[in-house]
């Protein structure tokens, strides 16, 4: 019962991780630059994401421009696009697989098959967490290095946006969920190996002698 509750908790964490992963991939605020200027009325907030760049004006207007050209983008944005999409796909696969493998569901057949499915889903979550952690770390490193570079003007410097923090939290949720699923299945298999009952097989000659002895008693 405790293992089933732990798997259910890991499944909830994985759901939050999947939703956060998809949200971070689509959000346009991976890096933010707030330019107040001389007048608060003309304040502008520029946001850049993986798929679009948006500008928000203090007057309430909001405009976005899609990034159609892939080859013109920096290498870290191209890598972030690829790894975040892979993270979303793997985490979605992990949700489907662990739904079959969890102990609290009636899917998946016998316990061994459910255990294998649960372990495979945990591996998907771990890989999804790694694929989500790498681009957010790389993107944050680029933002910080540009911010500390004295040759770059202040108007071109940015700070990490909400999508980066969402990506970090989602990757942590996926990693924790994957570790819980994998260790729960591993402990179950290890217990089966350790506490497997030993069967003592008597030799055929000894069985025949015992059978003959019992028959002689009744003659």
- Statement: residue 45 has pLDDT above 90: no
Highest-confidence segment of 40-44, 93-97, 111-115, 157-161: 93-97
Q: What is the predicted pLDDT for the residue at 4?
A: 79
Pick the residue with more confidence: 72 or 202?
Answer: 72
Cβ contacts of 22 within 8 Å, gap of 6 or more: 88
Q: What sign has the CA pseudo-torsion 202, 208, 211, 212?
A: negative
Name the band, by pLDDT with cuts 50, 70 and 90, for residue 170: very high
What is the distance of C-alpha 119 from the center of its chain? 14
Number of neighbouring beta carbons within 10 Å of residue 197: 4
pLDDT score of 116: 86
Q: Phi/psi zone of residue 37: left (φ > 0), alpha (ψ -120 to 50 degrees), beta?
A: left
pLDDT for 195 equals: 42
pLDDT of residue 185: 72
**Confidence class of residue 57 from pLDDT cuts 50, 70 and 90?**
confident
pTM above 0.95, yes or no: no
Q: Are 165 and 27 in contact (CB under 8 A)?
A: no
């Amino acid at each position: 019962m405790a293992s089933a509750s732990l798997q259910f908790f890991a499944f909830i964490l994985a759901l939050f991780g999947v939703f956060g992963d998809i949200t971070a991939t689509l959000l346009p605020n991976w890096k933010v630059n707030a330019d107040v200027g001389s007048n608060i009325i003309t304040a502008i907030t520029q946001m850049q994401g993986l798929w679009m760049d948006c500008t928000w004006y203090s007057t309430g207007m909001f405009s976005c421009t899609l990034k159609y050209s892939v080859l013109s983008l920096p290498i870290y944005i191209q890598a972030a696009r690829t790894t975040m999409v892979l993270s979303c796909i793997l985490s979605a696969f992990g949700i489907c697989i662990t739904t079959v493998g969890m102990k609290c569901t009636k899917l998946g057949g016998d316990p061994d098959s459910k255990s294998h499915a649960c372990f495979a889903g945990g591996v998907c979550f771990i890989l999804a967490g790694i694929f989500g952690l790498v681009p957010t770390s790389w993107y944050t490193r680029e933002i910080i290095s540009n911010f500390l570079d004295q040759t770059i003007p202040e108007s071109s410097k940015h700070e990490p946006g909400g999508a980066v923090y969402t990506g970090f939290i989602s990757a942590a949720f996926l990693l924790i969920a994957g570790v819980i699923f994998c260790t729960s299945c591993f402990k179950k298999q290890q217990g089966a190996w350790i506490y497997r009952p030993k069967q003592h097989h008597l030799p055929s000659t000894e069985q025949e002698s015992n059978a003959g002895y019992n028959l002689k008693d009744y003659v």
